[in-house]
């Protein structure tokens, strides 16, 4: 009977100690407040937080992957597109992440959405499609700078999709087709130019050497004779060839 008044306080003290213990993992921190005032940030291990007197909030220090919902963006050249992205960030200062902003996760998400619309709205559609790395760097720099006051470090921002309507997709396809046709015509014209230059050089060589013209003439006759066809071809015989053959015949008769 005498021991009962002693046992009750001991039991209550043990219960208080049990409920005061917190296990903090390696990637977490406890932001502790004492009677409403910031007291300390406790690291990993077995920690004690006295109920009713101290309040503690867990903060995860790992990199958080956050999807930025699709945003309607009007580009600089007045094209409406839907753009979504993914944001990678982590808390580097647990104290500021809890004290400076009510909900740092929601605040970071809203900041990413508004920044995505404002930054992409300063670029034309072609830049959105071809210069994605540059825009990713711009987004990362702006979001990181504005969220620094919350103790947050933005490590990377990646634009995932730029969705276009059907009319714009068809217009881009026509533009690409026209570009391919333009390149094909340029290549064809360059080929014609090079061929004409080679033909001109060959004509100059033949004009300086009449024997070369005769050899080319005979080569053409040989090519036609080997072709398997039944068409009769009337081919004019140059006088120069006959003149070259007459002296040869006269020499045989003299001999």
Q: Convert the pLDDT of each residue in 133-191 to its tens digit.
A: 899 999 999 999 999 999 999 999 999 888 877 666 566 666 667 777 788 888 888 88
Q: Which of 62-76, 85-99, 142-156, 240-254 has the lowest mean pLDDT?
A: 240-254
- Under a CB-based contact definition with an 8 Å cutoff, are residues 60 and 28 in contact? yes
Average pLDDT over residues 201-210: 71
Q: What is the CA radius of gyration of the chain?
A: 43
Residue 237 confidence (pLDDT) above 60: no
Q: How far apart are CA 26 and CA 43, in angstroms?
A: 8
CB atoms within 10 A of CB 249: 9
Average pLDDT over residues 212-221: 64
User: Would you call 28 helix, strand, or coil by DSSP?
Assistant: strand
Q: Which domains are present in the chain?
A: 4-59 (no CATH), 64-169 (3.30.479.30), 199-244 (no CATH)
Q: pLDDT tens digits for 101-113?
A: 999 999 999 999 9
240 token code pair: 């120069």
Residue 248 confidence (pLDDT) above 50: no
Q: Which of 12-21, 45-54, 147-156, 208-217 has the lowest mean pLDDT?
A: 208-217
Q: Which residue has the tokens 């508004």?
A: 114
Residue 66 confidence (pLDDT) above 90: yes
Alpha-carbon separation of residue 46 from 56, 176, 245 (angstroms): 14, 63, 115
Q: How far apart are CA 209 and CA 192, in angstroms?
A: 26
At 182 the pLDDT is: 81
Residue 253 confidence (pLDDT) above 60: no
At 226 the pLDDT is: 66
């Amino acid at each position: 009977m005498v021991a009962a008044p002693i046992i009750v306080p001991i039991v209550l003290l043990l219960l208080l100690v049990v409920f005061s213990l917190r296990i903090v993992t390696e990637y977490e921190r406890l932001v502790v407040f004492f009677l409403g005032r910031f007291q300390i940030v406790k690291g990993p291990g077995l920690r004690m937080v006295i109920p009713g007197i101290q309040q503690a909030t867990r903060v995860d220090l790992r990199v958080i992957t956050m999807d930025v919902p699709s945003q309607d963006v009007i580009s600089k050249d007045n094209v409406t597109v839907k753009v979504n992205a993914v944001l990678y960030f982590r808390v580097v200062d647990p104290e500021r992440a809890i004290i400076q902003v009510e909900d740092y996760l929601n605040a970071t998400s809203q900041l990413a959405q508004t920044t995505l619309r404002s930054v992409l709205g300063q670029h034309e559609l072609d830049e959105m499609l071809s210069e994605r790395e540059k825009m990713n760097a711009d987004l990362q720099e702006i979001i990181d700078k504005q969220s620094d006051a919350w103790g947050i470090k933005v490590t990377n921002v990646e634009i995932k999709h730029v969705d276009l309507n059907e009319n714009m997709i068809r217009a881009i396809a026509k533009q690409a087709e026209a570009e391919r046709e333009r390149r094909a015509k340029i290549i064809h014209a360059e080929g014609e130019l090079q061929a004409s230059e080679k033909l001109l050089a060959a004509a100059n060589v033949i004009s300086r050497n009449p024997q070369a013209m005769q050899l080319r003439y005979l080569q053409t006759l040989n090519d036609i004779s080997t072709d398997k066809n039944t068409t009769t071809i009337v081919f004019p015989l140059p006088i120069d060839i006959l003149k070259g053959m007459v002296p040869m015949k006269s020499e045989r008769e003299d001999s």
